[in-house]
Amino acid sequence: MIRNTFIAVILAVIITAVNLNSEVFHIPLLIVFLSTLSLGYLQPQKGWISIIQLAISIFIGFFSSKLLGFTPKNFTEFQFITYISPFLCLFGGFMGSYFSKIINQK
């Protein structure tokens, strides 16, 4: 479980960095979806805990980047991606766990 927490924090840092430097919202949302898909695939039984940790870490990255003075290229898209990411995190985590259960089915 600690390993997945570490992975969630690293993914949140990557998502926040991409979100800060992106001019469109498609790329950060794709990265959010792919990272939650991989987290759901890695731990299909208790993956929802990692997904919630990732969503919380994305919000922490958003507010800490505002406090540290980092300026995004487009603030409204940065804010939109941050606020919509928990829904995408839950969907991606569910789909990842579903794919894991289907692929590893005997």
Residue 106 banded pLDDT, cuts 50, 70, 90 = low
- What domain range is 64 assigned to? 2-103
Please tell me the predicted confidence (pLDDT) of residue 1. 60
**Buried/exposed code over 54-90 (b: 16+ C-beta within 10 A; e: otherwise):** bbebbeebbeebeeeeeebeeeebbeebbeebbebbb
CA dihedral of 102, 3, 65, 67, whole degrees rounded to 10? 130
**What is the domain count for the chain?**
1
| DSSP SS3 for 50 | helix
In percent, the amount of the chain with pLDDT more than 70 equals 97
pLDDT, tens digit (0-9, with 9 covering 90-100), for 47-95 = 788 888 899 999 999 899 889 988 888 888 888 988 999 999 999 989 9
Cα–Cα distance for residue pair 78/24, rounded to 1 Å: 9
